[in-house]
Amino acid sequence: MPAKSQAQQKAAGAALSAKRGEMDPSDLTGAAREMHETMTETQLEAFAEGKRKGKPGHAS
C-alpha cells in the first residue's frame, strides 16, 4: 500500500530508517513515531516506496 502523499512517504522513510537502526527512534516525532511502533519493516518499505513527484504535499 503506497503512501498517498509526500508527507506520508517521508514519515514512513524516517520510521523505516529507525527500524533498521540507522537513526535513533527517540528522534522520531508524530506520524513517524507512530508508524515505527505499529508497522513492520515490510509494511514501511511498501509505504515508503515509489516516486514523490505528482503526489500532494499532504493527504486530505
Within-domain flag for 30: yes
How many domains is the chain built from?
1
What residues make up the domain containing 23? 6-48
Distance, in Å, from the CA atom of 44 to the CA atom of 46, rounded to the nearest integer, reads 5
Within-domain flag for 26: yes
pLDDT tens over the chain, length 60 residues: 677 788 888 899 999 999 999 999 999 999 999 999 999 999 999 988 877 666 666 766
Within-domain flag for 21: yes
Q: Which residues contact 42 (CB under 8 A, 6 or more apart)?
A: none
Q: Kindly report the pTM of this predicted structure.
A: 0.81
Within-domain flag for 1: no
Within-domain flag for 56: no
